[in-house]
Amino acid sequence: MASKSALLPRGGPPRLLARAGRRRYQAPACPFCSTASRPTPPNPAQPRAPRLRCDVTSPHPRRRWQSTATATSSTTPITPPNPRAELEHLLLELERRAPNLVNLSRLQLALQGLRQPAGQEVVRVAILGLANGSTESGGAAHTARRVLRMLLVDPLSDEQPWEAELAAHDPSRPLIVRVAPGRGPHVRVEISTDTALHELHVSSPDLNGLNLELLLMEVTAPYGAPGEVSVQSLEDAVLVPTVDIPSAADRVSPVTTPVHQALLVADGFMGAVNVSALPVSEAGDSIKAAVQIEGVAKEQLGTDFDIIDVSQAEQGIRLFRQGPQNAMDYERLWFTSNIPLLASWLGAGATSAEDTTKPAVLQLISSLLQNTISCIHAADAQKLSRALVANGASPALVALHGRLADWAQRAHAELQDELDLAFTGRRWRKLGWWKLFWRVDDVAMLTNEMLSQRFMPTAEQELVYLTGRIAELAGDSSSPQQYPQPVSSRDAADGAAAASEQRRLGSGERAPALAATSSSALPKWPGHIAFTRRYLQNETVPALQSLAQRLVVQALGTSGVTTSLAALLYASSFASTLYEAGAVAALGVVYSLGRMQKKWETARGFWEGEVREEGRKAVRGAEESVATVLDNGAAAKASEQEARELQSARELVAKAEDALSRIQ
């Protein structure tokens, strides 16, 4: 009889903490770490990543990757900095300097991941049953327990002891599941008495090598009307759930337990309604939602979360374990249940190429930095509000701040909507890879037209109007406002050259002034949008045009060479028939066109992403520039110490984002 493996189809189965004085934050014991039954022995073949240490008592802590020598030989090669060590150092500095602006629980989890070897990080995933999202008997906690079993079960083997342990577990109490190759019988480890936190060791062939730790528990998510729940409040609730750890005979201590990813499980139509009010899709791959509804497809409800049917997956596993003759029924039931979608999401976050950081770890750090930036902006707004109240600011100035916020919101919306229209419009479709042969010279013209007409023209006009109102409030509309302007590297070089020339000529002679670097020539509004548009047109568009021409020439050249080779083979009798010679020519044409398609579509996607990202940076820069002008008078008496702390935190986050972008 054929084995089961031969018939099995592939693809189966605290919010922010308040600062107390200047004492360093001490994180409580993490349940994942405190319940570990034994330490994991180090792998002798893989050296442990060194932990970065810096003297936090020194006013100028020295980075580990910087040389301590006073001079280096020109022949000595300079070792590039390690982005992971650099990012760890920056996060430690952020924890020390701004503990009230960062979620310290998630920060500790991020540091733990950076201290582990790249590609071998432990990924924590929470399987959460929504306590207030259930209408059926048993509730979403029972469904979450069933989903967890389906994610870990091995259909090629008989029922394992851990499955009975999991089925007997009370879903109202937290459970930690460690996935690793089995060593003897699978048993449940109790930390203390009846109220103890349970731990279960599971061996799953599909997940054993991913270093997964799972947390099964109930959670109460923030609910409200659609649009009322923020992404940050949702992340704080489900990515940092609170686990009750027994501390005495009749007492428990709530401990925050940060995780990299979370799967929300709800039951029935009422659960679907509650989940639909949460901004799950805006949280990226960190949070995924699934609702248990039998006999209903996702397309029927038109939702952005997954509809699952665990009973079908359980029936498929049961049939396949009865014999391999049920493999077709198993496959049909397994994929109909939509459990494979959840299994793919679980594996995607914990899978990476060799010696590269896992996606779940990168997503955690990125989310942590974004939330820190949001907290910095909120602190800036509070500081400004206090300054406005203390200085008795006029209602007109307060109204201008509101107008600035409205402008930024409209500008971001315009950027997204207009670029969506541009990249799905007729001009962009004209630049398909197969149309390059007769439109290769039109690449620059068409892309420049898209940028001129779709790159925030309305936002730029409204910004001019807003800065005019600011000048009117200042009482001197004729003098230009000193808005911080974007300066390119070329402008900076020209400015340095002009200064050098001025010093050479001496005080008796005058060098020609440069408009880009003269403060008196600054425009009356921030030029970030126009500057970014010119950068895209002058720097990126010519590169895209050059690539298109090069790809066309390469495709024609390769096709011509293989066609000539085919003709030569046919003429020299190496190819006995015309079909053989034609096959050689066709192979060259197909190869050249496939290579051209792949490279051009990749370049188009990269350029589209760059345009969107540069647009977001332009809006953010213009907003900060106008806010700087508005805050010059109102915030003059604000706390200088607080302002320095916020600026220091902002710089640390910017450096951390740069280091994160260089991590592999």
- Higher confidence at residue 126 or residue 2? 126
How far apart, in whole angstroms, are the C-alpha atoms of residue 624 and residue 622? 5
CA 626 to chain centre: 28
Supply the pTM of this predicted model. 0.58
> For 11-53, what is each residue's pLDDT tens digit?
443 333 333 333 343 444 666 766 554 444 444 444 443 333 3
How far apart, in whole angstroms, are the C-alpha atoms of residue 515 and residue 463? 21
Q: What are phi and psi of 659, to 5 degrees?
A: -65, -35
Given a contact cutoff of 8 angstroms between Cβ atoms, the answer to whether 616 and 353 are in contact is no
Residues ≥6 apart with Cβ < 8 Å to 492: 517
What is each CA distance from 169 to 86, 140, 142, 145, 177, in whole angstroms?
43, 14, 10, 9, 12
How far apart, in whole angstroms, are the C-alpha atoms of residue 241 and residue 15? 10
How far apart, in whole angstroms, are the C-alpha atoms of residue 584 and residue 572? 14
Where does the pLDDT of residue 113 fall: very low under 50, low under 70, confident under 90, or very high at 90 and above? Answer: very high
The least confident of 46-55, 253-262, 451-460 is: 46-55
Residues ≥6 apart with Cβ < 8 Å to 486: 527, 528, 531, 532, 621
> For 325-383, what is each residue's pLDDT tens digit?
889 999 999 999 999 999 999 999 898 888 889 999 999 999 999 899 988 888 887 77
- Give me the amino acid identity at 502: Q
pLDDT of residue 632: 64
Q: Residue holding tokens 């990125």?
A: 366
> For 61-110, what is each residue's pLDDT tens digit?
333 333 333 333 344 445 557 889 999 999 999 999 888 899 999 999 99
Q: Where are the beta strands (DSSP E) in 373-446?
A: none
Q: Residue holding tokens 């109007």?
A: 465
pLDDT > 90 in the chain, percent = 27
Taken in order 277, 283, 284, 289, is the CA torsion positive or negative? negative
pLDDT of residue 467: 84
Neighbours of 382 (CB within 10 A): 11
> For 533-556, what is each residue's pLDDT tens digit?
999 999 999 999 999 999 999 999
Radius of gyration of the chain (CA): 30
Q: Are strands 242-246 and 287-292 parallel, antiparallel or unpaired?
A: unpaired
Which residues, listed in sequence order, are joined to residue 126 by a DSSP beta bridge? Answer: 215, 262
Return the closest-CA partner of residue 358 out of 349, 371, 367.
349
Return the closest-CA partner of residue 191 out of 178, 202, 200.
200
Which residues, listed in sequence order, are joined to residue 175 by a DSSP beta bridge? Answer: 198, 216
Given a contact cutoff of 8 angstroms between Cβ atoms, the answer to whether 267 and 296 are in contact is no
Neighbours of 226 (CB within 10 A): 9
